[in-house]
Amino acid sequence: MASLRDYRDRIKSVTSTRKITSAMKMVAASKLRRAQEQAEASQPYAQSMADMLARVAANVTVNASSSKLLAGTGSDQTHLIVVVTADRGLCGGFNGNLAKAALKMARDLIAQKKDVKFICVGRKGQVLVQREMRERMWESFTGLFGKSRVDFAAADEVTSYILDKFDAGEFDVCTLLYNEFKSVLTQTPTAQQLIPFKLPEMQDNEEQDKGDSAASEGGPSSPYDFEPEEEEILNALLPRNLGVQIFRAFLDSAAGEHAARMTAMDNATRNAGEMIDDLTLQYNRARQASITKELIEIISGAEAL
């Protein structure tokens, strides 16, 4: 049986663990708030970009001469998977689930005789993907989420790396895999195809109509002029849009990371509390047992005289 001293030491160590987890929870909560604010602040740009793309796309037909970012390379042999995870752990299944989804996707593609390459953003994803598919890893970007806010420059860096590789013809299809921030309690691994880019026609046309009829008396059919030509604008817009999509994934992932860590640390704090209660009970019981034992010894000693 553990001695009283052992119990005391355990209680002390669990108490200090609880202090740490509850502090981490509070830090995560405040970081989450900031990340959510940032995600909100970036909305107008993403929205305007989507509107503009829809407008331009409505005037352009996709054909063989269109940008490869839109039309594709005509093959789907090599897939690039961009995995966005956190740099740090202690956030429940946040990184693990995403890495699992990434590896599953890669295995499925490999089973279909496709070639798969990886770009990892975030140290945790890099470690987890490397464990199984080291030779397929192109590049990993870490430390992008370390700062209090995510810079657009960070997304830009990753975007230009991807575009360089694409221009060099090193892959055909690019999929972005990240944790979508649904709510503080749920973040779901989401795959989004970046290249070739799928124009979100239906949805955005509706939005465009709404925007137009609200904004201009000319009605939704008011013609748009383009300068330079539609094709040229589209070719300039697409790479920017890629950056915007990646940036949005970063922001979602950053908010999700803090939310997941907050939830995980909340659980840990609660578990530590329960453990302390249990241990305290056992400690008291053991103390009582030893007092009783001593008493019995004294009494039976006195009776023997």
Partner 1 sequence: MTDTQTINFELVSPEEKLIEEPVKMAVIPGTEGELGVGAGHSSFVVALKLGVVQLYKQEGDTDPQKIFIAGGFADVTGQQCTVLAEQATNVNDLDQAALEQELADLTEDLDRAADAAETLRAESAMVLVKAKLSAVTGALVV
Q: What is the closest distance, in whole angstroms, from the C-beta atom of residue 236 to partner 1 in the complex? A: 5
* Residue selected from 82, 176, 244, 268 as contacting partner 1 according to rule CB under 8 A: 244
* Cα–Cα nearest to 193, from 212, 178, 214: 178
What's the CA gap between 5 and 116, in Å, rounded?
Answer: 56
In total, the chain counts a number of residues equal to 305
* Cα–Cα nearest to 156, from 239, 279, 46: 239
What's the CA gap between 52 and 304, in Å, rounded?
Answer: 99
What's the CA gap between 46 and 39, in Å, rounded?
Answer: 10
* Cα–Cα nearest to 97, from 83, 115, 76, 118: 83
What's the CA gap between 271 and 278, in Å, rounded?
Answer: 11
Q: What is the closest distance, in whole angstroms, from the C-beta atom of residue 150 to partner 1 in the complex? A: 9
- Choosing from 91, 109, 129, 262, the catalytic residue is 91
222 binds partner 1 (CB under 8 A): yes
Question: How many residues in the shown chain lie near partner 1 by CB under 8 A?
Answer: 36
Name the residue nearer to partner 1 (CB basis): 172 or 252.
Answer: 252
Tell me, what amino acid is at 186?
T
223 binds partner 1 (CB under 8 A): yes
Fill in the per-residue mask, 246 to 275: x = in contact with partner 1 (CB under 8 A), - = not in contact: -x----------------------------
What's the CA gap between 238 and 67, in Å, rounded?
Answer: 9
Asked if 91 is an active-site residue, the reply is yes
* Residue selected from 120, 129, 195, 237 as contacting partner 1 according to rule CB under 8 A: 237
Say how many C-beta atoms besides its own lie within 10 A of residue 141's C-beta: 20
Q: 132-191: which residues touch partner 1 (CB under 8 A)?
A: 151-152, 155-156
Name the residue nearer to partner 1 (CB basis): 4 or 226.
Answer: 226
207 binds partner 1 (CB under 8 A): no
> Which active-site residues does the annotation give?
91
Binding site for partner 1 (CB under 8 A): 38, 41-42, 44-46, 48-49, 51-52, 55-56, 151-152, 155-156, 212, 215-218, 222-228, 232-233, 236-237, 240, 243-244, 247
